Amino acid sequence: MTTSATPVKGKSPLALPGRRSVPGRVVPVIATFVLFVLLFGVGTARYDGFLSGQVVANLFIDNAFLIVLAVGMTFVIVTGGIDLSVGAVVALSTMVTAAGLQAGLPAPLVVLLVLAMGSTLGLLMGLVIHYFEIQPFIVTLAGMFLARGLCFVVGVESISIKDPTFRTFATAAIPLSGTVSITWSVVIALAIVAVAVWVLHRTRFGRTAYAVGGNENSAMLMGLPVARVKVGVYVISGLCSAIAGLLFSLYMLSGYGLHAVGMELDAIAAVVIGGTLLSGGAGYVLGSLLGVLVLGVIQTLISFQGTLSSWWTKIAIGTLLLLFIVMQRVFMRRQP
């Protein structure tokens, strides 16, 4: 009996005889993890003290807000959309937080106001995108200008956060060992990642999001709740942006209209580097987390080097983004 060299339908071309296949859409995530390990290995070989628990912890502490932002962006991009407003919503959230606390409002009330504001902005953009059939790029670009403009309606100057409860929460450390500690922002970010993994990969909402990103018309013909999911992912993105803004307020202890300029591009880069297709239909929350950590390692390497401009971070991110987009295209074309 002879066997054909042609791949069996439904199997990945990466499958080898007698071995389980590796889906092509998983390969970019694996590549991101390998890249993270390699970059960390380079830092360990070049710099004393790079391989320490606190350096790893700092990757999460310094990027907790970006992790949350990337989670929301993953939901949007999986459906084939994009959200350019997230950085401006982060800035608006810091301004509302700082102004509310300065006015004497209780911290829990300020948090609820910020979360409601972010979710409402996401809801409005999602409704316009779906029911008016306008490109997400245009709608979220308008949302970006709106949120950034509202920042300067709240206040032109930077507003320092002096609320004792807020500052205590921001500076509190959670010891993991004798020399390693994290902040509550990291705990919140990782909890959101865990919830997002469950929602996107284990619920009907998540499966529908993948279906919409794969082929929206087919999803509608299958009777899936396309409208609810398309609007819902922008609500999730707006909510995550508001939470990221709160975490950024804890990180900076201030509100400012020019906070988070360009952060939406960092979030998109992290999601794409993490293996999510810009065309939609494929992606993993944990991949986005790895993407953020890769960006964090690059920043840490440049910081340890000490002689390089911080703009080299942008150059490295741009190069990686291009490489991962090309790699995604290659592996998806090889799918049967």
User: What gap in Å lies between CA 142 and CA 151, rounded to an integer?
Assistant: 14
Q: What is the spatial distance between Cα 278 and Cα 213, in angstroms, rounded to a whole number?
A: 9
Distance CA 293, CA 295 (A): 5
As for how many domains the chain has, the answer is 1
255 membership: H or E segment, kind and range: strand 254-255
Q: What is the pLDDT of residue 237?
A: 97
Give the CA-trace dihedral at 267, 86, 149, 299, to 10 degrees: -20
Task: Report the residue count for the chain.
Answer: 336
Per-residue confidence (pLDDT) for residue 8, from 0 to 100: 42
**Residue pLDDT tens, the chain, 336 long:** 444 444 444 444 444 444 556 666 677 788 889 989 998 999 999 888 888 889 999 999 999 999 999 999 999 999 999 999 999 999 999 999 999 999 999 999 999 999 999 999 999 999 999 999 999 999 999 999 999 999 999 999 999 999 998 899 998 999 988 789 999 999 999 999 999 999 998 999 999 999 999 899 999 999 899 999 999 999 999 999 999 999 999 999 999 999 999 899 999 999 999 989 888 888 899 999 999 999 999 888 888 887 766 777 778 888 888 887 777 677 666 655
d(CA 325, CA 330): 9
Residue 316 in domain: no
Query: Residue 122 is inside which H or E element, if any?
Result: helix 107-131
Task: Give the domain range for residue 118.
Answer: 53-260
First to last CA, the chain: 24
Q: What is the pLDDT, as a whole number, of residue 291?
A: 93
Strand-pairing partners, residue 182, are 174
29 within a domain of the structure (yes/no): no
Inside any domain, residue 302: no
State both tokens at 20.
Answer: 């389980």
In a domain, 296, yes or no: no
In a domain, 166, yes or no: yes
Torsion of the alpha carbons at 214, 238, 121 and 152, rounded to the nearest 10: -130
| Phi, then psi, of 99 in degrees rounded to 5 | -65, -40
Q: What is the pLDDT of residue 83?
A: 96
Structure confidence at residue 331 (pLDDT): 63
**Is 312 a domain residue?**
no
Position 88 in a domain: yes
Look at the block and give the residue holding tokens 């993948």.
Answer: 210
**Cβ atoms 291, 270 nearer than 8 A:** yes
Per-residue pLDDT, 334: 61
Structure tokens at 25: 């859409």
Residue 176 within a domain? yes
State residue 278's pLDDT score. 87
Buried b (16+ CB within 10 A) or exposed e, 66-93: bbbbbbbbbbbbbbbbbbbbbbbbbbbb
d(CA 214, CA 225): 14
Helix (H, G, I), strand (E, B) or coil at 27: helix
CB 194 within 8 A of CB 85: no
